[in-house]
Amino acid sequence: MNKQIVIVAVCLFAFSCKSKKQDVAKQNTPPPPTAVDVVIASTQMLSNSIEANGSVVANETLDIHPEVSGRLVFLNVPDGARVGAGTVLAKINDADLQAQLNKSQVQLKLAETTEQRLKKLLAIGGLNQADYDLAQGNANNIRADIELIKAQISKTVVRAPFSGVLGLRPISPGAYVTPQTILATLQQANKVKIDFTVPELYANIIHKGKIVSIATNDNSSKRTATIIATENDINTATRNLKVRAVLNGNPINPGSFVKVLIDAGSKANSIIIPTNAIIPDATSKKLIVVKNGKGTFVKVETGLRTASGVEIINGINVGDTVVVTGVLFVKPNAAVKIKTVKKLEEEPNP
């Protein structure tokens, strides 16, 4: 019995030793190389073009309000109609003001007659100067009242301040309106402006008269616009400079979204790498460069972004082998296997 126990113990010990040797062997076996695609870093001419989002703005636009409160007795706001500067758009009931005007005109006529009669008496010494001055002052006060009433009457007429196109009519004749009521919207859209912003880094290339390219969402042919002005200062919250340009050629509907492309010159001998090769983290950006069959993580400094990739300002050299696919599976200093050497134009960029 004791002999059998010893034999079993020896067998178990031998099996245990064999398992440990296999585990150690597995641990010492290096993982297989990670398959990756690469590009060879090379230089090319980089067209330095800045892209910005822009909005189309009417040359002039406003909401038309009445200056006084009252009942609308006339409304000339056809939907979408074109009107000229000075066109009467609305009239507010002014019957009470007209009555005040008539009353004041009658009072003025009487005051002027009295003034002339007292003036003749003053000339022959039949009246003292104070009485005449009182009559003259009364006539002048009535004249001032008449001018005030006329000004109030003129405010009951609403005119187009400039030529343009009316929007949709928001109100009907007979409505009671106040200075807060919108009677119509008016836009001068025969010439439109483009408003956009650029980072302060490029503020030095923005100047009056510079031509920029405009692209619309309907994929029509490229348009151009001429910069006419910039804000006096840079926005401290966004560090952007607001720019305004006038669209050349036929106008676009105000409020439309456009892309603005600004030519900032060209840079020779720039290294461009596909965007998907960049590994961003909290403090830096990295690329994986293949050296001696292993993936080496290298910190890089990026520059301009283009349709084909991103400019690498510092961190790699011409001729370096840069991993472009499989970057998420490569471990630092781990073996890699190159499947394909790709060209830059073959790599899609988000």
> What is the pLDDT at residue 302?
87
Tell me the average pLDDT across 157-176.
Answer: 95
Question: What pLDDT score was predicted for residue 220?
Answer: 65
Average pLDDT over residues 200-206: 87
Q: Is 121 helix (H, G, I), strand (E, B) or coil?
A: helix
pLDDT, residue 25, reads 46
Are the beta carbons of 91 and 156 closer than 8 angstroms? yes
pLDDT value at 154 more than 80? yes
* CB neighbours of residue 72 within 10 Å: 21
User: Would you state the pLDDT for residue 65?
Assistant: 97
Q: Are 104 and 142 in contact (CB under 8 A)?
A: yes
N-term to C-term CA, the chain? 76
Please report the pLDDT score of residue 12 as a whole number. Answer: 53
Domain boundaries, the chain: 34-46+268-345, 51-59+188-266, 66-93+162-182, 95-155
User: What was the pLDDT predicted at 185?
Assistant: 95
What is the structure's pLDDT at 94?
96
Give the pLDDT score at 44. Answer: 84
pLDDT given for residue 90 in this prediction: 97
Q: Decide the pairing of beta strands 294-305 and 310-314.
A: antiparallel
Question: Sign of torsion, CA 312 316 319 325?
Answer: negative
- For residue 346, pLDDT beyond 70: no
Per-residue confidence at 310, pLDDT binned at 50, 70, 90? Answer: confident
* Sign of the dihedral defined by the CA atoms of residues 80, 81, 82, 88, in that order: negative
- CA–CA distance, 174 with 307 (Å, rounded to integer): 59
pLDDT of 4 higher than 80: no
**Helix ranges restricted to H, the chain:** 2-28, 95-123, 129-154
How many angstroms separate the CA atoms of 176 and 68, rounded?
Answer: 11
Enumerate residues 6+ apart whose C-beta is below 8 A from 242.
Answer: 195, 196, 197, 230, 231, 235
Residues 6 or more apart in contact with residue 43 via CB below 8 angstroms: 268, 269, 270, 271, 318
Model pTM score = 0.61
Nearest-5° Cα angle at 261, 258 to 262: 140
Per-residue pLDDT tens digits for 100-131 = 999 999 999 999 999 999 988 888 888 889 98
Is the pLDDT at 245 greater than 50, yes or no? yes
Helix (H, G, I), strand (E, B) or coil at 235: coil
Q: How does pLDDT run across 46-103, given as a tens digit for each residue?
A: 777 788 999 999 999 999 999 999 999 999 999 999 999 999 999 999 999 999 999 9
The CATH topology of domain 95-155 is Helix Hairpins (1.10.287)
Look at residue 10 and tell me whether its pLDDT is greater than 80.
no
Instruction: Tell me how far CA of residue 289 lies from CA of 273, 275, 277, 295, in angstroms.
Output: 12, 15, 10, 6
Mean pLDDT in the chain? 87
pLDDT at 265 exceeding the cut of 50: yes
Q: What is the rounded CA–CA span in Å between residue 166 and residue 136?
A: 49
51-59+188-266 maps to which CATH number? 2.40.30.170
Q: Looking at domain 34-46+268-345, which CATH architecture does it have?
A: Beta Barrel (2.40)
Q: Which two tokens stand for residue 345?
A: 């134009």
User: What are 267-285's pLDDT values in tens digits?
Assistant: 778 898 998 999 988 888 9
Confidence of residue 24 (pLDDT cuts 50, 70, 90): very low
pLDDT at 68: 96
User: The tokens of 350 are what?
Assistant: 């988000």
Is the confidence at residue 323, as pLDDT, over 80?
yes
